[in-house]
Structure 1
Amino acid sequence: MRIHTILGLVFLLSSCGSAKLVNGSRDANPGFSVKDIIKTHQAAAPQFETLAARVNVDYEDEKSSQNITVSLRMEKNKTIWIKASLLGITLSKAMLTPDRVQYYERISNTYFDGDFALISDWLGTEIDFEKAQNILLGQSIFRLESQAYNKSVENNQYKLAPKQELPLFTHFLALNPDFFKIASQGIDQQSKGRQLRMYYPDYQKVGDQVLPKKVVIKASENDAITTLEIDFRSVDLNIPIRFPFTMPDGLTEIQLD
């Protein structure tokens, strides 16, 4: 169940059939202020109304590994729809809206219909619709304007870390100097032995938008490590799309601890 839950709920990014991989060459400017870094990153958020994509996903944990192709449809800020299938047979479907998560998986005949607790439980940190969308668009999952940050330049990237960490976790983010998208971001919850890392090794140009080409997500809890490598293939932007979703009968509800 866990494999398909993750496949159904985390593959939410985009690219384009005519997209080109972008490789930057700009050097990070040590004199660039925290305020300007944050402002430029927020301005780099991709602008579109709808997105339809094919996403290839490699999943691995300590017990198993799997590769699968996922269909993604998105109406920005409103709906994220995902379908995982094999040989034309639907394995799982998920639909996320700002206040609801619906998901079912056919192999284990399980379902979930509720809030973002299921995604938050797996990632080990509080996730809402905006954060889920930002993960998949190469944007910060943190509200950068809500606290003060220290800045440093490391490995030709702007690294931001809070001047005062929150009591329950620590976090950081690093941005590339070419288009101010996320290079990596992470959260640590030492009291629970949890660590979440998101890496964005490649970006691509989709029209005049810069979107991730590949994302690597690593979630660990004590000695258990789960890795997702997400490669975004063909994508169409701003086309008419639908979000068909009907929960089948006879499924068992996923219960969270």
Structure 2
Amino acid sequence: MKQLFVIVTITLFAVSCKSSKKNNDAVFEKNSENILSNESVKTKSTAENQRAVQEIAAAHYGLFNDFNTLKINANVDYTGQEGSYSPSADIQIEKNKRILIAVKALGIPLAKVYLTPERATYYEVLGGTYYDGDYQFIKDFLGTEVTYENVENLLLGKAFYDLNTNDYIKTRNNELELKLNQFLMRLVMGGKNQIASTEVTQDKSADKLVIQYPSYQSSENIYLPKEINIHAMQKNDVQIKIDYRRVSVNPSLDFRYKIPNNSKPIKI
């Protein structure tokens, strides 16, 4: 089975889409300043568990005010087997409709990712390759559904899978778990019920993926991550750090996207 890391990388920045080895989760050290007690909570019934999760969901989603568009200028630090890179990324989001991510180094375009609910596409300039299709390739990799909404949630700091419509179990005061086929997703919540980290593990695999949100910011009344750290622990360790430097709320955006001529399709 191919890796969750590939999916995260493609949907975010396509910086290391050349990697195609098996990989699935990552573990993250918990920030003690943002995380509640780890004292176990034993739910006495399904109904009690549902009420506990609903309370967390209400507090979590209550953090996020509405918006129409976002423009985020970010710095990215990528470290993997092939080396270390520090590009910048311009992230444009039209809520529930489309995401455009342009990756650059010293002002030179490296790659673009364009996502809508129906379409997932990207190209990289130096490699001259592209992918243009739907989200089925992600489902084929993972054996579970991944959608545009999941990717948007990851960038916004929201729970990857909806807390109100999935069967989460509250295992500790600050932890929720969700079983998805062969995957176990564990959410560690912070003091305001923000996501402190998301840890994904796969049955019978030592590989791990962790997405951590060490800090958040309030920009123009919009609650967003300040930093996102992705750590894929596998045979070839991969780390991605994304720092949101500047955020503009409800600006006019330009979603022009065209795959360069002579680019070659890649099979993921």
Taking structure 2 as the reference length, what is the TM-score of the superposition? 0.77
Q: Where does residue 232 of structure 1 map in the other structure?
A: 244
Q: Where does residue 147 of structure 1 map in the other structure?
A: 167
| Deviation larger for 80-89 or 238-247 | 80-89
Kept in 1, the 8 Å contact 2:76–2:88? The answer is: yes
Matched, 1:171 2:173: no
**In 1: Cα distance, 2:158 partner to 2:54 partner:** 16
Q: Where does residue 203 of structure 2 map in the other structure?
A: 190
Report the secondary structure of 1:142's partner residue: coil
| Deviation larger for 109-118 or 196-205 | 109-118
Kept in 2, the 8 Å contact 1:58–1:228? The answer is: yes
Q: Where does residue 48 of structure 2 map in the other structure?
A: none
Q: Where does residue 177 of structure 2 map in the other structure?
A: 161
**In 2: Cα distance, 1:213 partner to 1:227 partner:** 17
Percent identity for Structure 1 against Structure 2? 32
Q: Where does residue 209 of structure 1 map in the other structure?
A: 222
Higher strand share: 1
Task: Provide structure 2 residue ranges, at least 5 long, that are not aligned to the other structure.
Answer: 14-32, 42-50
Q: What aligned pairs does 1:2-17 form with structure 2 within 5 A after superposition?
A: 9-10=11-12
Report the secondary structure of 1:239's partner residue: coil
Q: Counterpart amino acid of 1:48?
A: F
Matched, 1:75 2:99: no
Shift in CA distance, 148/247, structure 1 to aligned 2, threshold 3 Å = closer
Matched, 1:200 2:213: yes
Task: Provide structure 1 residue ranges, at least 5 long, that are not aligned to the other structure.
Answer: 12-23
Query: Following TM superposition, by how much is the alpha carbon of 1:129 offset from its aligned partner in structure 2, in angstroms?
Result: 0.5
Q: Where does residue 111 of structure 2 map in the other structure?
A: 92
Kept in 2, the 8 Å contact 1:123–1:196? The answer is: no
Query: Following TM superposition, by how much is the alpha carbon of 1:35 offset from its aligned partner in structure 2, in angstroms?
Result: 2.3
Kept in 1, the 8 Å contact 2:36–2:190? The answer is: no
Residues 117-149 of structure 1 deviation map (CA, whole Å, 9 limit, x = unaligned): 566688896421111011111111123232141
**In 2: Cα distance, 1:117 partner to 1:60 partner:** 28
Taking structure 1 as the reference length, what is the TM-score of the superposition? 0.80
Query: Following TM superposition, by how much is the alpha carbon of 1:8 offset from its aligned partner in structure 2, in angstroms?
Result: 6.2
Residues 11-56 of structure 1 deviation map (CA, whole Å, 9 limit, x = unaligned): 5xxxxxxxxxxxx889679899332112211232342111112110
Kept in 1, the 8 Å contact 2:78–2:240? The answer is: yes
Q: 1:248 aligns with which of 260, 263, 268?
A: 260
Q: Where does residue 28 of structure 2 map in the other structure?
A: none
Residues paired across the two proteins, number: 235
Shift in CA distance, 213/252, structure 1 to aligned 2, threshold 3 Å = same
Shift in CA distance, 62/224, structure 1 to aligned 2, threshold 3 Å = same
Q: Counterpart amino acid of 1:110?
A: T
RMSD across aligned C-alpha pairs, in angstroms?
3.1
Shift in CA distance, 122/7, structure 1 to aligned 2, threshold 3 Å = same
